[in-house]
Amino acid sequence: MQTGPMRAGGAIPRLFVYARRRNSPVSVAPFVAILVLAASAAVAAEQVGPPVPPAPRIGRASWYGAAFHRRPTASGERFDLHRMTCAHRTLPLGTTVRVTNLLNGRSVLVTITDRGPFRRHRDIDVSYGAARVLGMVQRGVARVLIEPVS
C-alpha cells in the first residue's frame, strides 16, 4: 500500500476546459431558449386568475372522537371532539367545507384540520360535534354532499 504521493508513472486527473468560439450558434441557443420560456411564463402568469374551488362531491362520511381528543392534528392544533372540524385526504388544511347529510338534509360548516380518513370508501371524517349536528352518530357512517366553501 502506498502512503506518499505517486511519482513517475502515476496519473494525476486534471480538468481541462476548452474555450468556445464567440457568437457561435451553439452558444446562443440556450439563451434564446431561456428568453422564449420566460416570455411564455409571463404571458401565462397574466392569464391565471384566482384558484377555482373544487366541485361539490357526494361521498361517505364517518366520525371520530374520544380516542383522538386533545391529540395534535396535521395542522398542529389539538383536536377537540366538540368543535366543528373534519379530516380530508386532499383538500388544503384550513379549508371550510359544508357537509350535508343526504339522508335527513342536515348540514354543518366544518374546517379541515387533519388528514384522513384512513379507511377505504370513506371521503371525510367529521368530529363528534359535527356528527351530532348531522345526525349520524348512531349509524356511524352517512352519505354526504361535500361542498368546499373557502
Is there a contact between 60 and 122 (Cβ–Cβ < 8 Å)? yes
Could you list the residue range(s) of the whole structural domain that residue 111 is in?
57-148
Number of independent structural domains in the chain: 1
Residue 110 maps to which CATH number?
Answer: 2.40.40.10
pLDDT tens digits, one per residue of 21-49? 665 555 666 666 776 666 666 555 555 56
Q: Could you give the CA distance from residue 136 to residue 101 in angstroms, rounded to a whole number?
A: 8
Question: What pLDDT, on the 0 to 100 scale, is given for residue 150?
Answer: 86
Question: What pLDDT, on the 0 to 100 scale, is given for residue 41?
Answer: 63
14 versus 134: the higher-pLDDT residue is 134
119 belongs to a structural domain: yes
The model's confidence at residue 138, banded by pLDDT at 50, 70 and 90, is: very high
103 belongs to a structural domain: yes
25 belongs to a structural domain: no
Question: What pLDDT, on the 0 to 100 scale, is given for residue 34?
Answer: 74
2 belongs to a structural domain: no
Q: Could you give the CA distance from residue 11 to residue 8 in angstroms, rounded to a whole number?
A: 9
Separation in Å, CA 68 to CA 27, 36, 109: 61, 53, 20
98 belongs to a structural domain: yes
33 belongs to a structural domain: no
Q: Average of pLDDT values for 79-94?
A: 96
